[in-house]
Amino acid sequence: MQPWFDPSLLFINGTWRACASGETLPVINPSTGEEFARIARGGGADVDAAVEAASAALAGPWGALTAAERGRILLRLSHLVLDHAEALAEMEATDVGKPLTQAKADVIALARYCEFYGGAADKLTGQTIPFQQGYTVYTLREPHGVTGHIIPWNYPMQIIGRSIGAALATGNACVLKPAEDACLTALAFADLAHQAGLPAGALNVVPGLGTEAGAALTAHPDVRHLSFTGSVATGKRVQIAAAENIVPVTLELGGKSPQIVFADADLDKALPFLVNAGIQNAGQTCSAGSRILVQREIHDQLAARLSAEISALTIAPAMEDARLGPLVSARQKAIVEGFLAQATPDQILAQASVPEGLPEGGNYVAPTLIGNIAPDHPLAQNEIFGPVQVLIPFDDEDDAVQIANGTKYGLVASVWSADGGRQMRLAKRLHAGQVFLNNYGAAGGVELPFGGVGHSGHGREKGFEAMYAFTTLKTVAAHHG
User: What residues are annotated to the active site?
Assistant: 252
Q: Which of 63, 171, 230, 452 binds ligand NDP (CB under 6 A)?
A: 230
Between CA 262 and CA 366 the distance in angstroms is 28
Between CA 38 and CA 19 the distance in angstroms is 12
Q: Does 150 bind ligand NDP (CB under 6 A)?
A: yes
Q: Which of 152, 165, 367, 451 binds ligand NDP (CB under 6 A)?
A: 152
In the complex with ligand NDP, which residue's Cβ is closer, 179 or 369?
179
In the complex with ligand NDP, which residue's Cβ is closer, 231 or 311?
231
Q: Does 234 bind ligand NDP (CB under 6 A)?
A: yes
In the complex with ligand NDP, which residue's Cβ is closer, 238 or 270?
238
Closest CA relative to residue 196, chosen from 49, 84, 92, 107? 84
Between CA 13 and CA 17 the distance in angstroms is 10
Q: Which of 32, 94, 102, 218 binds ligand NDP (CB under 6 A)?
A: 218
Between CA 318 and CA 180 the distance in angstroms is 19
Say which residues have a Cβ less than 8 Å from residue 240's Cβ, sequence separation at least 6: none
Among 198-206, 212-220, 297-305, 391-399, which window interacts with ligand NDP (CB under 6 A)?
Answer: 212-220
Q: Which of 165, 210, 289, 441 binds ligand NDP (CB under 6 A)?
A: 210
CB of 156 to ligand NDP, least distance (A): 9
Which residue in the shown chain puts its C-beta closest to ligand NDP? 210
Interactions with ligand NDP, residue window 300-359 (CB under 6 A): 332, 335
CB of 163 to ligand NDP, least distance (A): 12
Q: Can you state the angle between helices 420-429 and 397-404, rounded to 10 degrees?
A: 30
CB of 259 to ligand NDP, least distance (A): 18
Angle among Cα 131, 129, 459 to the nearest 5 degrees reads 135
Tally the C-alpha atoms within 13 A of residue 205's C-alpha that lie toward its C-beta.
31
> Which strand ranges, in their side-by-side order, compose the sheet holding 291-295?
348-351, 368-370, 388-394, 291-295, 258-261, 412-416, 434-437
Parallel/antiparallel/unpaired status of strands 471-479 and 249-252 = unpaired
CB of 454 to ligand NDP, least distance (A): 13
Say which residues have a Cβ less than 8 Å from residue 68's Cβ, sequence separation at least 6: 121, 122
The helix or strand, by DSSP H or E, that contains position 311, with its residue range, turns out to be helix 299-311
Q: Does 461 bind ligand NDP (CB under 6 A)?
A: no
Q: Which of 66, 125, 211, 475 binds ligand NDP (CB under 6 A)?
A: 211
Q: Which of 72, 237, 377, 429 binds ligand NDP (CB under 6 A)?
A: 237
Q: Which of 238, 327, 404, 430 binds ligand NDP (CB under 6 A)?
A: 238
Residues that bind ligand NDP (CB under 6 A): 150-152, 154, 177, 179-181, 209-211, 214-215, 218, 229-231, 234, 237-238, 252-254, 286, 332, 335, 383, 385
